[in-house]
Amino acid sequence: MDSIKLTKKQARQFILLKQGLIDDYKFVGEEGVCDYVKQVGCIQFDPVDVCGKNSELVLQSRVAGFTKDMLYKLLYIDRRLIDYFDKNMAIFSIDDWKYFSRKREAYKQKVRSKAQIDEAAEEIKSIVKEKGFASSKDIGFNKQVDWYWSSATLSRAVLEALYFQGDLVIHHKKGTIKYYALANEHIPKEIFNADDPNLTLEQYWEWYILRRIGAVGMLWNKPSDAWLGIDGLKSADRNKIFNKIKSEGKVIEIQVENIPNSLYCLVEDKPLVDMVLHKDNFTERTEFIAPLDNMLWDRNLIEKIFNFEYRWEIYTPADKRKYGYYVLPVLSGDRFIGRIEVVNDKKSKQLIVKNLWLEEAIDNSKEIKEKIDDCIERFAKFNNCVSINSLI
């Protein structure tokens, strides 16, 4: 298939249609959550909760009727989704469990403080089985051992190691406390015992690269945070896989105006490409976007296509931040029109709007203000706030 030429506007529209961020909501309720997660492979999890956790923020911008309880239910009650490593810590469909056996096996072969963990693992698994689920505080084993982020109790290290290895899953959470249970008691047998569909490392890399292209919508063959978590993948390997999937027609090559590098989308997304080629206008929405949103995984690409530079400044020293601690991009139509800093004050059930920065090209018109105000109201409801305190 010959390459397809798109304007930057068409490229933006394609990505946003793929992501469900323009036109009417195509993802609705619990089924919409599952459908979106299956479409993109995974959504990135981060525990920081200023105005919703990252995974919740991703879904609130796309899924009509989404609530935080909905994601919790799908993870820990219905278990249609699971949290595990993909692009860093992530959430994906339970049906994809079989594809991650290589990750689980790698953790079995190499884990910090391995001798101490192996010695205590079976006993702690027996305790978990007897209790049904347990946190590290329920078990004892309080001896400190060397662990990844800092020293930790042996009970915590063993529980996390068994989770990494796939012997345990997260049963539920209370705040930041994780309760673990045996994986084989909470993952359907046909999924838990399924063979890895990827027989070779090259097949695994190909599956993963296609998964990541679908996660963003459109990617180039360049170094990118979008490739994080693909174990062992080097540039030479990535080049080889790209040549293979191009020659086999699994991706479509796209040339975007004023971008010298070729971009690629999945061949099954050809209808979306055709749509932006033959339709000029789409229903516009205004949404607050998560800081680790799928479409932002390659921020250099977003800067080229959307003319919007976004850097997450949560780990930037306060005196060196350009904007704020936890700032969300504001998307309106097919443009990023600014960024906003909002805080959910859970004690007062108040959404505090701390700052709003509009892009230079955006006029602070009545229309823009109304769109943002409407988004703030929806965002307050999403955060279960009863009032809004705007400081802008």
Query: pLDDT by residue (tens digit) across 218-232?
Result: 999 999 999 999 999
Q: Which pTM value belongs to this model?
A: 0.96
Is 110 buried (19+), middle (13-18) or exposed (0-12) by CB count in 10 A?
Answer: exposed
Query: What's residue 313's pLDDT?
Result: 95
Higher pLDDT among residues 272 and 111, named by residue: 272
Among residues 143, 176, 192, the one where a domain terminates is 192
Q: 72-88, pLDDT tens digit by residue?
A: 999 999 999 999 999 99
Q: Is residue 158 part of a domain?
A: yes
Which CATH number characterizes residue 166's domain?
1.10.10
Mean pLDDT of 98-110: 94
Q: 283-305, pLDDT tens digit by residue?
A: 999 999 999 999 999 999 999 99
The amino acid at residue 70 is: M
d(CA 379, CA 34): 21
Q: 18-49, pLDDT tens digit by residue?
A: 999 999 999 999 999 999 999 999 999 999 99
Which CATH number characterizes residue 324's domain?
3.40.630
pLDDT tier for residue 189 given thresholds of 50, 70 and 90: very high
pLDDT tier for residue 89 given thresholds of 50, 70 and 90: very high
Q: Exposure pattern of 249-280 as b/e (b: 16+ CB <10 Å)?
A: ebbbebebeebeeebbbbeebeebbebbeeee
Q: Tokens 């705007």 appear where?
A: 390
Query: Is the predicted pLDDT of residue 1 greater than 80, yes or no?
Result: no
Q: Is residue 370 part of a domain?
A: yes
Q: Is residue 120 part of a domain?
A: yes
Percent residues over pLDDT 90 in the chain: 96
353, containing H or E segment = strand 350-358
- The size of the chain, in residues, is 392
Scanning 77-170, the segments in alpha helix (DSSP H) are 101-109, 114-131, 154-164
Is 55 buried (19+), middle (13-18) or exposed (0-12) by CB count in 10 A?
Answer: buried
Query: What's residue 249's pLDDT?
Result: 97
The amino acid at residue 177 is: I
Residue 168's Cβ-side half-sphere holds a number of Cα atoms within 13 Å equal to 30
Q: Is residue 233 part of a domain?
A: no
pLDDT tier for residue 364 given thresholds of 50, 70 and 90: confident
Among residues 130, 164, 192, the one where a domain terminates is 192
The domain of 377 spans: 286-390
Closest CA to 269 of 294, 248, 282, 252: 252
Q: 148-169, pLDDT tens digit by residue?
A: 988 999 999 999 999 999 999 9
Mean pLDDT taken over the chain: 96
Query: What's residue 278's pLDDT?
Result: 96
d(CA 73, CA 30): 9
Q: Is residue 199 part of a domain?
A: no
First to last CA, the chain: 51
pLDDT tier for residue 206 given thresholds of 50, 70 and 90: very high
Q: Which of 7-16, 30-39, 222-231, 359-368 has the lowest mean pLDDT?
A: 359-368
DSSP string covering 246-271, please?
HHTTSEEEEEETT--S-EEEEGGGHH
Q: Is residue 168 part of a domain?
A: yes
Q: Is residue 86 part of a domain?
A: no
Among residues 168, 192, 216, the one where a domain terminates is 192
Query: What's residue 81's pLDDT?
Result: 98
Q: How many structural domains compose the chain? A: 2
Query: What's residue 392's pLDDT?
Result: 86
Joined tokens for residue 252: 């479509």
Query: What's residue 149's pLDDT?
Result: 82
Q: Is residue 366 part of a domain?
A: yes
Closest CA to 261 of 228, 234, 301, 233: 301
Residue 149's Cβ-side half-sphere holds a number of Cα atoms within 13 Å equal to 5
d(CA 332, CA 297): 19
CA distances to 24, 80, 127, 352 from 377, in Å: 19, 30, 47, 11
